[in-house]
Structure 1
Amino acid sequence: MPKLPQQLLNSLSQFEHFNAEAFVEAHNEENKITSIRLNPFKKTDLNFELNGQIPWTDAGFYLDKRPSFTYDPLFQAGCYYVQEPGSMVIEFALKQTLNLAEPLKILDACASPGGKSTLINSLINRDSLLIANEFVKSRTDVLTHNLSKWGTNNTVVTNNDTQRFSELTSYFDALVIDAPCSGSGLFRKQPDAIDHWSEESVNACSVRQKKILEDLMPSLKENGILVYSTCSYSAEENEEVVKWLITEFDLEYLALPVKKEWGIVETAHGYRFYPHLTKSEGFFCAALRKKSGEQSPFIPKKKNTIEVSKAELSILAPFLGLSDEHIVKKNNNFHLLNLAALNFLIAFEKQFYFKKAGAVIGEIKGKDMVPNHELALIIAINKGLPRLELNEEQAIRFLRKENFEHQSSEKGLVLVSYKDQGLGWAKILPNRLNNYFPNELRILN
């Protein structure tokens, strides 16, 4: 591994808790930490053993070895997410600062690839709303796919500059901002990044982080919660940003009841993860409360979405298992949303670029429903649909879009599943099977 930047080590020496020797030694060790977070909406028997729970999260677990996730049908079905242990502390911060039993509106402002978004989505209730925004357009596809796999319909994916959200005065109950950073916390996992690190990049990231926060603060309600995090060790991107927030925006720093045995280091303005103290890569997190705010003046705009007709609903309804959700038509596709997501779409569809709203269930051609791939993944699907249940070998061949032998009495359109978890769609014909798994998602050899 390349030598750690001396400027970074010098900057960390300001902290009395910092042990440079142990820090450097931990970075010279081979990183073998693998961890996942389970999807509470898709409980099933995994194809590998768990090796201990991550203490600051209910759904996160270590693995004793790294399996081939790509070739695991349960990963493709969204039954779990592969995530760094330290970043899962967002769950602990939100549970300690919010009443998650209430209907909430939460913005994940820098959301791709989806680790924080799927985590938040696991915590909030069915009546809540998660806006997952990613301002880099090229990163929105993976975010959208990961949220689609998670299976819910109370999320909206947007692709907008953070400044656009300043127009939503006092709209959100909570902001989660895992800000773009210099990435020093991932040096052990990505040693090549060491050569790209510099004090100049740290300062540039700090400026960018403050700009993002300045854009978003008007959208947070009075008494709303901000959870700020980075994967950087630099105080300029962490504690100094928190102190700036307290001064500039009248925020209150919130202490969290972190247990000593977890190995997390508490500073005056946040919580630090070090690889020699925690079974994790480097991470920083802080929670704050907004002490004052304005009333929301926004007025819903004229909507472009079209509500479904009774005839359309009669075609769509057999595919769905929930009756208290809302279906709208947008760009020829039908979307399943909860009321909060529907209201956001109606109010702001002219102000924001929407990548995905709720769950895309499909389109109607003639008198037939053509299901979208996402419909196979959502938890609101009708469990009684005709189904082709596959074993592991068959499931992998399906995900590769390869031919495979099967025995089924079903004919026509079927939901393809593995261990009762939806994978996609197929049509069983007398002499062949048409595989509708999207080409852009198929497993490559």
Structure 2
Amino acid sequence: MKLPVEFEKKMKNLLGEDFAAYEQHLDDPAYYGIRVNTLKISVKEFLDICPFPVTPVPWTENGFYVRREDKPSKHPYYHAGLYYIQEPSAMAPAAYLPVVPGDRVLDLCAAPGGKSTELGSKLKGEGILVSNDVSISRTKALIRNLEMFGIRNSVILCTEAKHMVPSLTGFFDKILVDAPCSGEGMFRKGNNEIKNWEQKGSEPYARLQREIVDDAVKLLKPGGMMLYSTCTFSPEENEQVIEHLLTENEDLSLVSMKMCDGFDCGHPEWTLTGREDIKKCIRLWPHRIKGEGHFLALLQKAPGKETSFSGEKYPRVKLTRETEAFFKDCHMDIDWNRVQEFQGKLFYLKEEFPKLSGVRILRKGLFLGEMKKGRFEPSQPLAAALYPEEYDKYISFELEDERTIRYLKCETLNADVETEGIHLIGTGRFPLGWGKVKKGRIKNKYASSWRWM
């Protein structure tokens, strides 16, 4: 791999004698990984049914190396949301942010959703996850990944952090800022990252990162924790951004994190003031670990007076007869006072959430389905969020049954089922989507946008 001349000079200065090892690693194949969705299955249970060989990723309990040739995206368990395909180093930020059930969590730069899906899994359906990205095109993948993972308690936004501040100052217990960066740690993935660096370098990203974290810290409640991460090596985008944060916010301090073999600490000599607490940051160098380059910093705001928030109130939704009939078979615990209707579409957010203004809201809670003339159409996200015991009519195909793949390809199927109507379709105990049974045939209701290709 041919590195840009200026970048090579920079890395030689940063790494010294270690540069030769870094340069050599660039010709090695990249590592490939999956992360288990512990909202749907425990790691132990997954390992018992895992269809391909895996090796643990050291810095996260539910991450595993896999071989690219095993094609994990071409398996029904992927479509059932049992795991997310993710570069191993990219698993670290969400793993190191100590989210617990009941937290209010913000993933500020969330698309395509790799880190948000893990944060949502950690919440176990309690609390609230706000996933935001400024790019409307990138939020399409974000929405799909959160829905496939079965996360019920998410709000998805498309806005800049500064627009959240008026409504959500001091609201969040935990914030993840996986900041846009120059991507120096991902050069091994392809030429696009190198071309981007040659065009922009580090400086414009460093300015943007400071703007983002300055707003993010306002959204963090007293006593809350924020994790900042990038996939770049540049001190201007890493140590110096954290130095800026600590200088501007006396109530912030760095928190020590678990060190794994091959990890490096932050470098005080790469800051402008030489502050020693920068050593609490973590650097992942790709020639020292089995993964790409990353930087992590965990910060905590000092305790203080917390702001009280009142949740938005919704008018009681008038359900159609067909909708009421459907939910007689569905035993998911729903507080109908927390359900909103938009042009017949129903969304459920169990937790109270403030009314936002000047913010583009793409999803507010779990999309339950749509009330149409003479029928109710349950949604694909609802199917992905349910457990088999939460819906009375469940058809399970064995993993080896050719109908499992045919269902994911949106084909009509035969089924020896006497009860007609809407059924939840799955493989084993893992739901995939909906189907309508009539006279021994299943009319496929699997979302065409999720179709097995």
- TM-score, scaled relative to structure 2: 0.87
Shift of 1:401: 1.9
Q: Name which of 283, 287, 306 aligns with 2:298.
A: 287
What residue in structure 2 maps to residue 374 of structure 1? 381
What residue in structure 1 maps to residue 71 of structure 2? 68
Q: Distance in 2 between matches of 1:41 and 1:140?
A: 22
SS where residue 388 of structure 1 aligns? strand
Give the conservation status (yes or no) of the 8 Å contact 1:319–1:382: no
What residue in structure 2 maps to residue 397 of structure 1? 406
SS where residue 55 of structure 1 aligns? coil
What is the one-letter code of the residue matched to 1:143? L
What is the one-letter code of the residue matched to 1:211? E
Shift of 1:406: 4.2
Give the conservation status (yes or no) of the 8 Å contact 1:86–1:281: yes
What residue in structure 2 maps to residue 205 of structure 1? 205
Q: Distance in 2 between matches of 1:10 and 1:248?
A: 31
Q: Distance in 2 between matches of 1:404 and 1:329?
A: 34
What residue in structure 2 maps to residue 132 of structure 1? 131
Shift of 1:107: 0.5
What residue in structure 1 maps to residue 88 of structure 2? 85
What is the one-letter code of the residue matched to 2:77? L
Q: Name which of 344, 348, 351 aligns with 1:336.
A: 348
Q: Distance in 2 between matches of 1:17 and 1:419?
A: 54
Q: Does 1:315 align with 2:325?
A: yes
Give the conservation status (yes or no) of the 8 Å contact 1:321–1:381: no
Q: Does 1:272 align with 2:279?
A: no
Q: Closer, same or farther in 2 for the Cα pair 1:184/1:18, shift >3 Å?
A: farther
What residue in structure 1 maps to residue 149 of structure 2? 150
What is the one-letter code of the residue matched to 2:9? N
Q: Closer, same or farther in 2 for the Cα pair 1:14/1:319, shift >3 Å?
A: farther
What residue in structure 2 maps to residue 35 of structure 1? 33
Q: Closer, same or farther in 2 for the Cα pair 1:381/1:306, shift >3 Å?
A: farther
Q: Does 1:253 align with 2:290?
A: no
Percent identical across equivalent pairs? 29
User: How big is each residue's C-alpha offset from its partner over 1:97-138, in whole Å with a ceiling of 9 and x where there is no partner?
Assistant: x6x25x211110000111110111122243311101111111
Shift of 1:371: 0.8
Give the conservation status (yes or no) of the 8 Å contact 1:157–1:354: yes
What residue in structure 1 maps to residue 235 of structure 2? 235
Q: Distance in 1 between matches of 2:12 and 2:418?
A: 69
What is the one-letter code of the residue matched to 2:431? G
Shift of 1:271: 1.1
SS where residue 58 of structure 1 aligns? coil
Shift of 1:349: 4.5
Task: Point out which structure has higher relative CO (alpha carbons under 8 A, 6+ apart).
Answer: 1
Q: Distance in 1 between matches of 2:320 and 2:423?
A: 23
Shift of 1:240: 1.1
What is the one-letter code of the residue matched to 2:395? L
What is the one-letter code of the residue matched to 2:82? C
What residue in structure 2 maps to residue 427 of structure 1? 436
What residue in structure 1 maps to residue 140 of structure 2? 141
Q: Distance in 1 between matches of 2:222 and 2:27?
A: 46
Q: Distance in 2 between matches of 1:382 and 1:307?
A: 27
- TM-score, scaled relative to structure 1: 0.88
Shift of 1:152: 2.5
Q: Does 1:59 align with 2:62?
A: yes
Q: Distance in 2 between matches of 1:264 and 1:14?
A: 19
Q: Distance in 1 between matches of 2:391 and 2:223?
A: 44
User: How big is each residue's C-alpha offset from its partner over 1:66-103, in whole Å with a ceiling of 9 and x where there is no partner?
Assistant: 423343111111110011111222244223xx6x25x2
What residue in structure 2 maps to residue 26 of structure 1? 25
Shift of 1:189: 1.7
Shift of 1:255: 1.8
Give the conservation status (yes or no) of the 8 Å contact 1:222–1:291: yes
User: How big is each residue's C-alpha offset from its partner over 1:212-255, in whole Å with a ceiling of 9 and x where there is no partner?
Assistant: 11222211112221100011111111111111111112221222
Shift of 1:18: 6.4
User: How big is each residue's C-alpha offset from its partner over 1:23-68, in whole Å with a ceiling of 9 and x where there is no partner?
Assistant: 010001222x211010112225545224221111111111144423
Q: Closer, same or farther in 2 for the Cα pair 1:362/1:319, shift >3 Å?
A: farther
Give the conservation status (yes or no) of the 8 Å contact 1:71–1:396: no
User: How big is each residue's C-alpha offset from its partner over 1:266-307, in whole Å with a ceiling of 9 and x where there is no partner?
Assistant: 124321112211111111111111237665376656x4x333
Q: Does 1:387 align with 2:385?
A: no
Give the conservation status (yes or no) of the 8 Å contact 1:182–1:205: yes
Select between 181-190 and 328-337 the one with higher mean Cα deviation.
Answer: 328-337
User: How big is each residue's C-alpha offset from its partner over 1:148-195, in whole Å with a ceiling of 9 and x where there is no partner?
Assistant: 111131211111221112212211112100011111111112234223
Give the conservation status (yes or no) of the 8 Å contact 1:170–1:294: no
Q: Distance in 1 between matches of 2:15 and 2:72?
A: 40
What residue in structure 2 maps to residue 161 of structure 1? 160
Q: Distance in 2 between matches of 1:15 and 1:211?
A: 26
